[in-house]
Each structure stands twice: as structure tokens, then as C-alpha cells.
Amino acid sequence: MDTHDVSDVPQYLEVLLKQKRRLQNAKSQQGKHPRTRKTRDEVIEQFNIKLMMNVMRGVSHDDNTIKSSFIPPAYLPCHNPFDLLTKILIKDLLLETHHRGTYLLLRSVTGADRINALMAIMEDEYQDVIMIQLYHQRNDNEHGEEEILREGSVLAIKEPYFKLMSDGNYGLRADHLSDIIFLSAYDERVPKSWQQSGGQHDDTAVGWKIAGNNYFNVSKYHAAIQSYTKGLTFSSTEDEADVLRRNRSLAFIKTKQFDAALRDLEYPSSTIKPVEKALYRRAQALYSLRKYPECCEVLKILRIEYPNNTEVEHEFNRAADRIKELETGTYPFKKLHRQALKLQPPQLDHATYVGPLRIKGSGSRGRGLFTTEAVRAGDLLLCEKAFAYAFAEEGSNNVALLINVETDSMTMGAQAELLQLIVQKLYRNPSLAPIINNLHHGSYKPANVSEIDGGLVVDTFLIERIISLNCFGCPRLSQKSHLQSQLRAGIYDKQTKNEHHSCGVWPIASYINHSCFSNARRAFIGDIMTVRATQDLAADTEITFWYKSPADESYAERQKGFGHWGFKCDCIMCQDTQSTNQSAFSERSKLRAKGLKYYDPIRGITDTTKFEIIVQKMEDTYTRPASEVPRLSMWDPLLALAKSYMGNGQLVEAINSALKALESLGHVIEGGSMPRASGKPVLIKKWGLMHNCIVDCWMLLSNAYALVALELKDIAEQYARISYKICVGEDETFNETYKVPKP
Ligand SMILES: C[S@@+](CC[C@H](N)C(=O)[O-])C[C@H]1O[C@@H](n2cnc3c(N)ncnc32)[C@H](O)[C@@H]1O
């Protein structure tokens, strides 16, 4: 939704086709041994040269080519525990084959390179070498984490896939994190000849604790975890084990493994008074998992037990603020707005509020989100913090092409990064897996095993499919997009595409189905998505928003946009386009072209009489009333007319044209037209489609009423404010945006 889909762009289609041809050729080699192989020295030398070139390129920043990443045909992760697999050797590998039931034990003989994947040359125990490509691995030095792969690292690849690489060499590709087991220097599975002389300490719990602390102090958190874990196998007393677990918990927190940290921080049965550090870390882990009420409970105990701890108060207030947000849906929106402008990436520390909504079946649409009580236009239905968010500044070249050769879909943006973020987050915190795994994934059949070797099985291809069907492209601030569209709002500019390179997954919003005649609208403030009702809704109404905003186009054209999600929209607007003659569409676009002759982007309409005749003729091409089926080609010429009249001081005409623009989008408005028929206030009887231009229309009306019907001015402004709130997410920045003087 609103991502930059380039699946139909010829330039990229060529890349896709080339890749498909390459895969097809490779397939013909399936099950065969490679014909020729480079020597060990040649493979290592070639890799090292590339590594050096990449380092140099990285330093000089002279690479402007677009990065691309391929999602290969899906395959399932290994579902066998390591102990049940049989060891194989590099010489036994067959091309384009998943070696099910086996594993390869490898040691790195080079440093690692990272382009799309983490790559290195590795040897087996017979000194045969091979290139490996490990996808979706964490970034080295991310948050101060140590290198994941360096010369001498040992790992096992479960059920390896051997293939012809794009550069013509042979190698292994691994997409599932649980298929790789990084073996610590202390692991018994590491062959004796590969074990490094390490351990300058006693083989005791205390010795390993000191080793762990030493690693921790130089930010080698994974090595610290391995040392504390080893220490636990030597600990003879409960207290010794508690200290090791507590130390390990902090290393887990540093590496964002919050589930594991919490396990290490269970209250030890032998201790009556919980240890201060344990409580503090427990609160930290719970906060990071967004379990704010539980976090507050722990902080309450900490406050009572350790009243001198000065940091608790701050932490407690922070968690209490999150609880208030999730319970009441009240947010300091102006502050959020400032944070979204300032933070890089704009990831905000706020909780998710779910309004009067519930998930329930929606017939052939699968599941949907429904209101549990009546709501008014503008009400906040959802204010959701992204589960994961990948930011790419608009206009920057920090984007990549993600190509799925199986679904033939291609997006430009930060989707590849998003995939890595989600896969990593779930792998590190299995308790979060259901949030993502339960989302719609089309016809993809996921692995039916969830745990292996003590860790979570994250099916990368499932996550990729979930992202492709549920992710949202998003601006840093919808307020910015809103203002840009207002500036552009002249005729023929309305079809500007909503395509963004930043993207994220908002799991609750993902249950919302599409309708062109939608009754809710999303907006973004950094990585927070707001969803507000665009109409007054009765209880038990399914809420819908646009996956793609509707344009005045033929039925076939409109439905093309939904092909990716595998449905055809059957809303009233789509039904109407289906029954509309092609001649009506042609006539409309001819008239629009004609109208353009009397329109100047700076001066506005140059001949209002002629323009009005054209607008009237355009209206005649529609058969159903706008209150039933919005007329998507009408609002912008009508608004242009209103603005021209306003500029000429023809206030009555300006008001009537602005009202007609609103009505063309399905609004039913009473009591606002001129000359005034009664003393009734202007009133929206029924809200129509929520377009950015609605704010402009109401502001124009407010300004015009100020001169001819003062009693309607504030009401019109109020409607502008509600519309702004829906489009932008909040109305705390309304006054400064529209320069409304303070009362
Ligand atoms: C982001 S998910 C929405 C939630 C989904 N219905 C579920 O059960 O999880 C997108 C999928 O919902 C379904 N969907 C959304 N809008 C629809 C519509 N107007 N008509 C039919 N199916 C729709 C399609 O299967 C689409 O691929």
C-alpha cells in the first residue's frame, strides 16, 4: 500500500527477466556436480580482491548504481534438529539442490563482505573451500555488536543449498536464520583442530563470569553471552548461577534478545528480596517488548524496595505515559510531530492505542476490522506504533530494488531492509512471532514447525510474503504530503501518485480491507500510523481504507491496482465504473483537456463563463447522483472555479462552487449555499470521500463566509479542522499550518 511498485517498469522488467533466465539455466544443472572448480588459492584470492574493492568503493562513496536484491523461489527452512542431521563435505555437494537431512561444518578463511548478504569463503575439514551467502543476518557493529563472521569463525549450515552464483562461481545461499548455527569457540561440535587456544581463565563459573564481563566491557555481547552460558555449566550454587544469569540478561538486552533476558531475570526462588539490578533490567526488557503495564508493575516493586534509586521515577513516569496512551488514545501530538521531524530515523517512543475496534470475519475478504460502537467522523480509531519500520529519506539514493522472481513483483524502497529487520526481531524474540505470522499471507504455505534447536524457526519467505501483502509505504509526516498536495491542487494535478520509499508493518492496521469508497483514512507521524473515521459510523461497521487511492479510470484499469492482493473491489464506485460506457470516460477526458485551455496554474481560470459550461458538460457525463457515487473528475475544476471567484471577489459564486466541489466527492451538505434560504447553520449531513482538498474547500468557505455570512465562518473552519485531523493524523498543528489567528 503506497509503496513504490515498479513491477511494470520496462527497465526493471528486463532485470527480472534476466534473472529468471539465469535461474532457468541454473535449473538445468540440478543434481549435477560442478564441472570445473577453481583452486582454493584462486577462490580466496578472487574474494579478497573483491573485498578490497568494496572497501575502497565504500570509502569513496562513488557508487550511484541502484542496489538490487533477489528473493529466490521459496524453500522451507530445515525442520530437523541438528543432532539428527548427517555431516556432508563440500566435495559431495550437488548443484541447485537442497541437501535435505545433512549439514556442512565450515570455518571462515577470509573476512566477511556484505553487499546484500553476508559473504565469506569457508573451508571444510578437508580444506575444500566455498563461498557462502548468508541473507538477513544482523549488521556487524549494529548497536555496538561485534562482527558476526570473521576469519576463523565456525558455523554449521543445515540442509545447504548449493548453486551457481550470478558471477559464475559456485556457492551456498542460506535465507533462513535457523538454518545457520554459529558455533562458539567452546562448542564441542567444533573439531579439535579448529579450536582456538582461548580461555586464559579458570574453567570455573567465576572464571567464565570474568571472561564474560571482559567481553561485555568491550561491547562483545555475543561472546559475553557464550561465556556466561559456559559458566552456568560449572556453577555449583544458586547464587553463582543467579549472578551469571543476571550478567547474561544485560548482554541479552544489549543484543535486543528481550525474551531471553526475561527468562534470565525470573525471580530466583532463594531470594526473598528481589535484586535491584534484576528488577531494573526486567523493567527495561518489558518496556522494550512494549509490555507497559507489566513494566509498571515491576517498577512499582522497585520503587518500594529501593526508594533511593533515582532513575526509577523517570522510568516509571515514562511507562505510565505509555499506559495512558494505550488506554485513552490521548497523545501529545505536537510533540510527536516535532519528534518525527527531528529523529533520524523518525521512530517514536509511544504506545499503540486500539479504539473501539475488533477483528472479525468479513466474508470473502477474509478478516476485517469492525467498530464496536458508533463513532463520528474524525474520531481516532487506531494509533499504532510500527512493529518494524525501515526509513529512506524521500529523494535519497538509500533505496534498493527488491525483486521476487516467484511473484514477479518489484518494489523500490526500503523493503529489503524491512525484511531483515522483521526476521531478526522475531528470531531474537519468539514471543512476538504470532503478531506477524498471523497476518494475511495469500496462498503461501508456511513451515509447520515453529521451534528447532532451542530457537524459533523464522520462515523468511513467509515474512517476505507478509510484508508484500501488508506493508505500508509512508511519508515522514502526512502533514508534509498534505501540504504538497494542497500546493499542487490545480486541475490535472490530482492523480499524483502516493508512493513512498520508507515502509513498515503496522499489524493491527493490516487487518483493514480496501474500499474505494472508504470510511477511514490513515496518516503518519514518523513510525506512528493514525487511522481516523472519515464518516459517522454505526457500531459493527467494517472499516476500510484505500490500498490505492481511486482515480476516475475504467473498471479494468482500477482493478489492475489490486491484482497484487488478489481481489477485485466491488464497492459502489467500482460497480458504477463497470456499468459506465467507455464513451463517458472519453468525453470526460476530452472536456478536461478543453477546460485546461482556460486554466493557468498561476492566474487560475482565464474565462470563467466558458469554463463553467465545460464543467456543466462534464457533470452531464455522470448518471448517478454524487451523493451515491462520488465524481472523481469534478472536484478539482470546481475548486479551481471557487478559487477564481474568490480572487475576483465573487463570494456567492465562490461559496457555491466550493460546496459543489465537496458534494462531488459525496458530501451531503445543508444550509451553506448562497443566497441563504434559512437561518440554519451549515451542516454535513453525510461525509463523502476524504481527499486532501477538502481542507482547502472548507477554509475557502470559512474565509468567504467571514465576509457574507459571519455566523457560518467558525463552523466551516471546524469542518476544515476535522478534515485536516483525518488527513494529517492530528489537529494540534492546524492553526500554524493554516495560519488561523488565535481567538
Ligand atoms: C492487508 S490484508 C487485509 C486483511 C485480510 N482480509 C486478512 O484476513 O488478514 C489484504 C488482503 O485482504 C483481502 N482484501 C482486502 N480488501 C479486499 C476487498 N475489497 N475485497 C476482497 N478482498 C479484500 C485480500 O485477500 C488482500 O490480499
Each residue of 332-342: pLDDT tens digit?
A: 999 999 999 99
Give me the pLDDT at residue 154, please. Answer: 95
In the reported structure, the alpha carbon of residue 364 is separated from the centroid of ligand 1 by a whole-number distance in angstroms of 8
Q: Per-residue b/e over 642-669, b at no fewer than 16 CB within 10 Å?
A: bbbbbeeebbebbbbbbbbbbbbbbbeb
pLDDT at 102: 97
Q: Is the CB of 440 under 6 A from ligand 1?
A: yes
Q: What is the pLDDT of residue 488?
A: 61
Q: Does residue 513's CB lie within 6 angstroms of at least one atom of ligand 1?
A: yes
Asked, for residue 383, whether it belongs to a domain, the answer is no
Q: Is the pLDDT of residue 487 over 70?
A: no
Tens digit of each residue's pLDDT (9 = 90 or more) over 547-604: 999 988 899 999 998 999 999 999 999 999 999 989 999 999 999 999 989 988 788 8
Atom 7 (ligand 1): residue with closest C-alpha?
A: 367
Ligand 1 mean position to 420 CA, how many Å? 24
Quote the ligand 1 centre to 598 CA distance (angstroms). 43
Backbone angles phi, psi at 513, to 5 degrees: -85, 170
Weakest-pLDDT range from 142-146, 219-223, 432-436, 548-552: 142-146
If you average pLDDT over residues 480-501, what whole number do you get?
72
Whether the predicted pLDDT of 654 surpasses 80: yes
At residue 480, does pLDDT exceed 80?
yes
The residue-averaged pLDDT of 623-639 equals: 94
Residue 504 pLDDT > 90: yes
Confidence of residue 186 (pLDDT cuts 50, 70, 90): confident
What is the 422 CA–ligand 1 centroid distance (Å)?
Answer: 21
Indicate whether 62 pLDDT > 50. no
**Ligand 1 contacts CB of residue 444 (under 6 A):** no
Looking at residue 60, what is its pLDDT?
41
Give the per-residue pLDDT at 414. 94
Answer whether residue 707 is part of any domain.
yes
Which of the pair, 63 or 579, is modelled with greater confidence? 579
Residue of 370, 440, 469 best suited for mutating to test ligand 1, as the one with most atoms within 8 Å of CB: 440
- The CB of 365 under 6 Å from ligand 1? The reply is yes
pLDDT value of residue 655: 97
Q: What is the pLDDT of residue 26?
A: 86
Residue 518 CB less than 6 A away from ligand 1 = no
Least confident among 7-16, 76-85, 196-205, 666-675? 196-205
Instruction: Compute, in angstroms, the gap from residue 365 CA to the centroid of ligand 1.
Output: 5
Nearest atom in ligand 1 to the alpha carbon of residue 564 is: 27
Residue 204, pLDDT > 50, answer yes
CA of 514 to the centre of ligand 1 (A): 7
Least confident of 76-85, 195-204, 494-503, 670-679: 195-204
Q: Is the CB of 564 under 6 A from ligand 1?
A: no
Query: How many domains does the chain contain in total?
Result: 1
In a domain, 647, yes or no: yes
Q: Which ligand 1 atom lies nearest to the CA of residue 510? A: 1
**Per the omega criterion (within 30 degrees of 0), is the bond before 191 cis?**
no
The secondary structure element, H or E, covering residue 369 is strand 367-371
Residue 235 within any structural domain of the chain: no
The verdict on the CB of residue 361 being under 6 Å from ligand 1 is no
Q: Smallest Cα–Cα separation from 132: which of 108, 98, 167? A: 108
Q: Evaluate whether residue 648 is within a structural domain.
A: yes
How many C-beta neighbours within 10 Å does residue 167 have?
Answer: 9
Strand partners for 364: none
pLDDT above 60: residue 58? no
Ligand 1 proximity of 569 Cβ (cutoff 6 Å)? yes
**Residue 600's pLDDT is what?**
85
Question: With 0-12 CB in 10 A as exposed, 13-18 as middle and 19+ as buried, what is 492?
Answer: middle
65 has a pLDDT exceeding 90: no
Local structure of 323: helix, strand or coil: helix
Pocket lining: 510 vs ligand 1, CB cutoff 6 Å: yes
Q: Which domain holds residue 728?
A: 581-622+631-738
Query: Cα separations (Å) of 626 from 500, 521, 632, 663, 679?
Result: 31, 20, 9, 7, 26
Whole-prediction pTM? 0.94
CA-439 nearest atom, ligand 1: 9
Out of 513, 516, 522, 570, give the residue to mutate to test ligand 1, the one with the largest number of ligand atoms within 8 Å of its CB. Answer: 513
Cα dihedral sign, 290-296-301-307: positive
Residue 390 lies in a domain: no
Centre of ligand 1 to C-alpha 569, Å, is 10
Q: Which range (453-457, 484-488, 615-619) has the least confidence?
A: 484-488
Whether 563 is in the pocket of ligand 1, judged by its Cβ within 6 Å, is no
Q: Residue 585's domain is classified under what CATH number?
A: 1.25.40.10
165 falls in which pLDDT band (50, 70, 90)?
Answer: confident
Listed residue (697, 692, 699) closest to 728, CA to CA = 692
Atom of ligand 1 nearest to the CA of 571: 19
Amino acid code (one letter) for 545: F
Question: Residue 492: pLDDT band by 50, 70, 90 thresholds?
Answer: low
User: Best of 567, 571, 572 to mutate for ligand 1, by most ligand atoms within 8 A of CB?
Assistant: 567
Average pLDDT over residues 464-468: 97
- Residues with Cβ within 8 Å of 383's Cβ and at least 6 positions away in sequence, in order, are 325, 329, 331, 350, 352, 353, 528, 529, 530, 531
Backbone angles phi, psi at 459, to 5 degrees: -80, 105
Gap from CA of 350 to ligand 1 centroid (Å): 28
The single-letter DSSP state of residue 255 is T
Provide the pLDDT for residue 59: 42
Distances (CA, A) of 469 to 2, 544, 567: 12, 16, 12
Question: What is the position in ligand 1's atom list of the atom closest to the CA of 367?
Answer: 8
Q: How many helices (H) and strands (E) does the chain have?
A: 23, 31
| Cα of 410 from ligand 1 centre, angstroms | 20
Write the pLDDT tens digit of every residue in 85-129: 999 999 999 999 999 999 999 999 998 888 888 999 999 999 999
Predicted confidence (pLDDT) per residue in 226-279, tens digit? 999 999 999 889 889 999 999 999 999 999 999 999 999 986 555 578 899 999
The mean pLDDT of the chain is 91
Residue 695 maps to a domain: yes
Q: Is residue 54 part of a domain?
A: no
